[in-house]
Amino acid sequence: MPIVTLPDGSQRTYPDALSVADLAADIGPGLARAVVAGRLDGRLVDVTFMIDGDVELSLITDRDPEGLEILRHSCAHLLAMAVKQLYPTVQVTIGPVTKDGFFYDFAFDRAFTPDDLAEIEARMRELAAADLPILRRECSPAEAIAFFEEKGEFYKVELIRAIPEGETLSLYVQGDFQDLCRGPHVPRTGRLKAFKLTKIAGAYWRGDARNAMLQRIYGTCWEDARSLAAYLARLEEAGKRDHRKLGVQLDLFHFDDSAPGSVFWHPKGWTVFQQLIGYMRRRQDAAGYVEVNTPDVMDRGLWETSGHWFNYREAMFTTSTEDERCFALKPMNCPGAVSLFAQGIRSYRDLPLRMAEFGKVHRYEPSGALHGLLRVRHFTQDDAHIFCMPAQMQDECVGIIALVFGIYRDFGFEDVVVKLSTRPASRIGDDAVWDQLEGALSGALDRMGVAYRINPGEGAFYGPKLEFVLRDAIGRDWQCGTLQVDLNLPERFDIGYVNEEGARVRPVMLHRALFGSLERFTGILLEHYGGHLPVWLAPQQAVVLTISEGQADYANAILSHLRLARIRAAVDLRNEKIGYKIREHTLQKVPYLLVVGDTEKAEDRVAMRSRTGEDLGRPLLTEAMARLRLETRPPGEIDPC
């Protein structure tokens, strides 16, 4: 006689075993139509799962985040089924869920085309309309290997052979198609209605460039047509805002195969980059940081001491010298900061010591993962390391959290989510240390009244961390800033300070980056603003345009005034129609266009326009200058004029 306890604490008793679907139907017909899975004693199960004892159960619908993942995973299976029906010689590999959809990797002897994609999607809709039941069956690894070998699915066989002996596997069956999967899945293909295939890409088997190249088909799936349409609209808008396109259009940067994953900054792009550094430098100066710089290349021994060599080796670039010393390009700045702290004798009176560094780091990202400014191999961090006494640790965390929220507000990000990433399985340091460090971060957030989410097991190998996630103008989330607390590296490097009693004790080390990567943050800003960067950050803030040659001297005089006021400006004296000039500089997203003709010259005025085409009138030059000085001033900077 099963007793089922629901999330609200209520209980239902049944005379016989029943399925999750039966229980949902008992509660109500609407819930029976919406349920896609159950969470039974903490474990996700299919709606066909039989309840034959006392359990705690919550019902998962397609409106729940977990339910949406189940829809997407089931849609990946639907994709694989359609591909196998249309192209029987294809081998299927894996098909996981992604942030906004799913993908499936296939081995095929020719490249898929956009026409193939349309045909595959049409077959998926036919299979969904057929409303085929999706059933789970369990088998041994030996049975599964025999089944997939007979089908010629050798990638599946390789996956199964890696599973420990004795485990029970599950296959999901829909029509004539069976796939290896833990599940759960929706009960019928008819539940999959709002989906769309989006693109084709290449991918190495198991993400290893030494393995075979596969073809990856991406798709998205949502709970209803309205949500799908909204997502596709966001996707279209994201395409318009793609920072890689804007980088070319606005002449900001480029990439080249001679240095994969590294940015070639053009003058305008480098201007933006330097404005970000200047802004952060001012904020850090005001917050009591000192700026330092450490070498880019350091001996292997340093990385062995820090633990990076054993925990991060595969992502490091290394080299050897004639005397057989092994060096590594730094993937992180922290060991260099420790070396700086270790110079000389430190006293408790020196703490907290806040050392900031715009440090260049190098990490070997797989070539398939590189993505414009958002995923690179060579980048600059607005890094800082704070050394403090344990009693100062929480205050320092509070100060950093307040600083990061203030900085994000200056860039127009009001919607910020904080995640606390706790100890990972592979880590250094004992549990007592991790308890202390995790408590410092959660205590700082609680003290400030900041809501946060827990990310279990996602901390760095040397300490827990806070992650700051920004939501942009079209609803996308970007993980940017991080704050990590660390007692492990001070221990490993044997650094200390002299306390009030004259004893040498360990400092706490805080690792902090607020932009994260300056390259990535630049890409995020370009997409957030669609290239219309805030006036203070724009590479060119104003352009003076002449109607004819007779205003060249006046235009150059205006340019001199603008530059004296530290306004980034240019002049366009070309013998072109004024409409053409206005359009060209508007496409370059220059915030202000100052048009001068004979009348403006005679009256010491400018005809002022914004980059959105707004007519701002014909102010006196002095009035225009006052407005530009105000609007081009970086946040927190005092007008020198």
Question: Which of the residues are catalytic?
Answer: 334, 363, 381, 383, 385, 465, 511
DSSP 605: B
Measured CA angle at 511 (ends 462, 259), to 5 deg:
90
User: What backbone phi and psi angles, to 5 degrees, belong to 264?
Assistant: -100, 105
Nearest-Å Rg of the Cα atoms of the chain is: 30
Q: Which residues of 370-380 are buried (b: 16+ CB within 10 A; e: fewer)?
A: eebbbbbbbbb
Strand partners, 607: 595
Would you call 262 helix, strand, or coil by DSSP? coil
* 526-540 as b/e: b if 16+ CB within 10 A: bbbbbbebbbbbbbb
Is residue 328 within 8 A of residue 297, CB to CB? The reply is: yes
Give the residue among 28, 23, 72 at the shortest CA–CA distance from 51.
23
User: What does the alpha-carbon distance between residue 24 and residue 62 come to, in Å, rounded to a whole number?
Assistant: 14
Residue 168 has what DSSP assignment? P
Spatial CB neighbours of 53, under 8 Å, sequence gap ≥ 6: 2
Q: In terms of Cα–Cα distance, which of 511, 263, 299, 270 is closest to 378?
A: 263
Nearest to 378 by CA among 359, 351, 397: 359
What's the CA gap between 462 and 375, in Å, rounded? 23
Q: Which two tokens stand for residue 635?
A: 């946040």
Residue 234 main-chain phi, psi, to 5 deg: -65, -40
Contact 171, 144 (CB under 8 A): yes
Distance in Å from the first CA to the final CA of the chain: 83
Distance (Å, rounded) from C-alpha 29 to C-alpha 583? 59
Q: What is the helix (H) or strand (E) element at residue 147, kind and residue range?
A: helix 141-151
**Gap between the Cα atoms of 197 and 71, Å rounded:** 14
Specify the amino acid at residue 503.
A
Amino acid at 583: R
